[in-house]
Amino acid sequence: MLNIGQAAAASGVSAKMIRHYEAMGLLPAARRTEAGYRQYGDGDVQTLRFIRHARDLGFSLPDIGKLVGLWQDRTRPSREVKALAQTHIRQLEAKARELLAMKSALEHLVQGCRGDDRPDCPIIESLAADGAVVPCPGHPAPCLSSPPSAA
């Protein structure tokens, strides 16, 4: 049996996150010593490593909960695991597109900034504007969009 610090070291998951995963139900409640200290076995450490690997791939905590359940179910249909992973891939692709659009907008603003001793700077002006900088449809350069109106 391992205490929480030892389980953290063995799994690569911090003690704080172990307690969090336990509170969320991703990890079963730890056994306790008579003094109330948590104790973890090899299976708990394996589960923590599984969770860490899933987090490294960017899965959300709800999806990790599903994956842990599927992992522990030896009769699981692999199509459920595959479908979950495919959905996550689509989410990652969408996030990648968003990040590239932000990068493009920021690059455009950086190109417009002289970077000299004068105070005028399109980067600061854009951040202070009422609208957000977003890519303009059909144009490589970003434009300002109006913020959503309060209905």
Q: Please give the residue range of the domain that contains residue 124.
A: 78-145
Average pLDDT, stretch 7-36? Answer: 96
User: Which three-class secondary structure state does DSSP give residue 61?
Assistant: helix
Same domain, 137 and 85: yes
* Domain count of the fold of the chain: 2
The SS3 call for residue 76 is: coil
Task: Please indicate, yes or no, whether residues 83 and 141 belong to a single structural domain of this protein.
Answer: yes
pLDDT for the residue 129: 86
**pLDDT category of residue 136 using cuts at 50, 70 and 90:** low
Write the DSSP assignment of 56-72 as a string of letters: HTT--HHHHHHHHHHHH
Is residue 134 within 8 A of residue 140, CB to CB? The reply is no
Instruction: Evaluate whether 135 touches 142 at the Cβ level (below 8 Å).
Output: yes
Residue 143 has pLDDT above 80, yes or no: no
| Within a domain: 107 | yes
pLDDT per residue as tens digits for the range 65-99: 999 999 999 999 999 999 999 999 999 999 999 99
Q: Is residue 69 a part of any domain in this protein?
A: no
48 and 83 housed in the same domain:
no
**Average pLDDT of the chain to the nearest whole number:** 89
Q: Which one-letter amino acid corresponds to residue 135?
A: P
Query: What does the alpha-carbon distance between residue 13 and residue 18 come to, in Å, rounded to a whole number?
Result: 7
Number of neighbours of residue 132 by Cβ within 10 angstroms:
15
Q: What distance in Å separates the CA atoms of residue 87 and residue 8, rounded to the nearest whole number? A: 30
Judge whether residue 125 has pLDDT over 80: yes
Q: Which residues contact 87 (CB under 8 A, 6 or more apart)?
A: none
The answer as to whether 66 is a domain residue is: no
Mean pLDDT of 3-26: 97
**What pLDDT is stored for residue 149 in this prediction?**
43
**pLDDT per residue as tens digits for the range 25-39:** 999 999 999 999 999
